[in-house]
Structure 1
Amino acid sequence: MPRPLDPSLNRRRLRIELRRAREKAELTQREAAEALEWSLSKIIRIEAGTVSLSVTDLRALLNSYRVTDAQLVSELEEAARGSKGQSWWTPFADVLNPPFTQYLGYESAADTVRTYHAIAIPGFLHTEDYAEALLAPLAPQEHVRRVVELRTARQDRLFEGEQSPELMFVVDEAALRRRIGDPAVMRRQLQHVKNMMEHPRVTLQVLPFSAGAHYATLASFILLGFKDDDDLLWLEHAMGQIAVRDDHELIARYQECFALLTDMALKGDDAVALIDAAARDFGTS
């Protein structure tokens, strides 16, 4: 049975279509707000996709923007009705920060997810015991358990269902060989990575040490791709997290970087052979 559409996806549809309609009507956000006697912040929040929208307010906007396509109006009214309610990650608010909460909304709508990980196995592919061992030095046990539960829920949404995205991973050899937890944890994690290579929507490559230096040597990153919007770049570093949407030059550099990484990284049997070699370093079960 298909999973119900998350409210964040309906808010995103409204955000894109209403911004497109306003620009077609040649109105600034301030002019749109003044025409409806609304606050500017209300228009900004609607176009950011951070709030739900009533059908009444939607109709007022569409009338102001002179949108008359009956099918589009009907689809947007349905999206407005579905924009209310909690998103799937709301129960994990105790372990989420605002930047990552916003990122999850984008991730839920992505058609493609491309990611490079230099230091550790990507969270998308974590086993529970690997995730716990990775996070244990950073937070109390109860917090770690909640983060792992969030990570598992996120994996379920990405890998299950007909609407899940295409996922492309480039994992650095360093991530395969860095011991997180005890050897048994690493063996199970590496086996899980191999198993996920069989998933019909997963492409996984391994970047060997022999590839040398490259643009992303010092940082992991995620590129989200959309059919109806520009790519989004997600960066995590020692100073925090950032989602990049409007710096098209920076996004283009990371798109080029990912293409270069896939050219250098091992594929298929060669990637499996390197994963097996890493696993052997952690002994046998």
Structure 2
Amino acid sequence: MTPPVDPSLNRRKLRLALRKARESAGLSQREAAARVEWSQSKLIRVETGTVSVSVSDLRALLALYDVTEPDTVNELVEAARGSKGPSWWSRYHDVVSPQFAQYLGYEGAAHAVDTYHPIVIPGHLHTRAYAEALLAERGLTAERIGRVVDLRMERQERMLDGTGRPAATFVLDEAAVRRQIGGPAVFGEQLGQILDFAGRDGVTVRVLPFEAGAHYSTLGSFVLLRFPDDDDLVYLEHAAGSMTGGEDLELLARYQECFQTIMERALDETTSLDLIERVRQNLEAR
């Protein structure tokens, strides 16, 4: 059974279509907002996909932009109807920051997700036990750890087990492949799960060896989201989290180049998985 389209994806669809239609009509955001008697901030929120759009508001914009083709109008009306309501991560509102919520909306629409982490295994690949061991060192309550891990497991299922999932490339630093979070048993299970995921269609796992040297993101992890119909985005993972796209093309380009460099210096897939398997077997032999 195909799951319903998340409201955030419908908001994104409307965001792209309405921005393109406004630009084709030769109107600025200020001019368009004035014509339909909106505040400019309301139009900006619509075009950034942060709010849903009512059918009546949508029809007003489409009329202003001279979008009249019946199939296009009907498709966007259905998207407007589906743009209301909470996204799947809304029930984790107590552990999801606004920045990360925005990121999750984009991640769900990406056709490719490229991830690098220099210290630990990326969250997309975590086992429950590894995630719990990692979070236990942060001084969080058991309840909060459970909530964060539940979110992480559902996110993983949607990204790696669902239909229409993005192509996912993970570059793991050798340090992350050898750092025994949770002890030998927990870490061995984690490495086994990485090998399992690496065997799935559309999932690539590479290891950046110690001898690869320095690169632009030596000190921090990042995720690149790629889209066929929109600008790429980079999400920088730190305490507050931050996302960069078209508003800072220079920074985005740096991380795109960095990921290309990392891929060039990483071990190939077969050698990477052999290394992970050797580390896993060494843990079992102890």
TM-score, structure 1 normalization: 0.96
Match in the other structure for 1:98: 98
Match in the other structure for 1:132: 132
Match in the other structure for 2:176: 175
Q: Does 1:52 align with 2:45?
A: no
Runs of 4+ in 1 over 6 A off after TM superposition: none
Match in the other structure for 2:271: 270
C-alpha distance in structure 1 between counterparts of 2:161 and 2:230, whole Å: 23
SS at match of 2:23: helix
TM-aligned CA deviation for residue 281 of structure 1: 4.6
Q: Is the 8 A contact 1:112 1:224 kept in 2?
A: yes
TM-aligned CA deviation for residue 236 of structure 1: 1.5
Match in the other structure for 2:221: 220
TM-aligned CA deviation for residue 57 of structure 1: 0.8
Q: Does 1:64 align with 2:61?
A: no
Q: Is the 8 A contact 1:2 1:161 kept in 2?
A: no
What are structure 2's unaligned runs of at least 5 residues? Answer: none
Q: Does 1:164 align with 2:165?
A: yes
1:15-30 map, 5 Å: 15-30=15-30
Q: Count matched residues.
A: 284
Deviation per residue, 1:118-174 (Å, 9 max, x gap): 100000000000000001121111101000000001011101232110001111000
Q: Quick one: which amino acid aligns to residue 69 of structure 1? A: E
Q: Quick one: which amino acid aligns to residue 27 of structure 1? A: L
Given the superposition, is the C-alpha separation of residues 151 and 207 from structure 1 closer, same or farther in structure 2, using an over 3 Å criterion?
same
TM-aligned CA deviation for residue 12 of structure 1: 0.3
The more displaced of 95-104 and 68-77 is 68-77
Q: Is the 8 A contact 2:204 2:269 kept in 1?
A: no
Q: Does 1:8 align with 2:13?
A: no
TM-aligned CA deviation for residue 179 of structure 1: 1.7
TM-aligned CA deviation for residue 267 of structure 1: 2.0
C-alpha distance in structure 2 between counterparts of 1:212 and 1:38, whole Å: 53
1:71-110 map, 5 Å: 71-110=71-110
Q: Is the 8 A contact 1:10 1:82 kept in 2?
A: yes
Match in the other structure for 1:201: 202
C-alpha distance in structure 2 between counterparts of 1:267 and 1:174, whole Å: 17
C-alpha distance in structure 1 between counterparts of 2:51 and 2:270, whole Å: 47
Match in the other structure for 1:282: 283
Deviation per residue, 1:220-243 (Å, 9 max, x gap): 1100001110100000135x2100
Q: Is the 8 A contact 1:29 1:40 kept in 2?
A: yes
C-alpha distance in structure 2 between counterparts of 1:262 and 1:196, whole Å: 19
What are structure 1's unaligned runs of at least 5 residues? Answer: none
SS at match of 1:169: strand
TM-aligned CA deviation for residue 261 of structure 1: 1.1
TM-aligned CA deviation for residue 27 of structure 1: 1.2
C-alpha distance in structure 1 between counterparts of 2:15 and 2:269, whole Å: 40
Given the superposition, is the C-alpha separation of residues 276 and 161 from structure 1 closer, same or farther in structure 2, using an over 3 Å criterion?
closer
Q: Quick one: which amino acid aligns to residue 174 of structure 2? A: E
Q: Is the 8 A contact 1:197 1:203 kept in 2?
A: yes
SS at match of 1:167: strand
TM-aligned CA deviation for residue 282 of structure 1: 3.0
Q: Quick one: which amino acid aligns to residue 142 of structure 1? A: E
C-alpha distance in structure 1 between counterparts of 2:160 and 2:118, whole Å: 22
Q: Quick one: which amino acid aligns to residue 112 of structure 2? A: T
Q: Percentage identity across aligned positions?
A: 55
Deviation per residue, 1:168-218 (Å, 9 max, x gap): 111100001112112100100011111111010101101111111122211
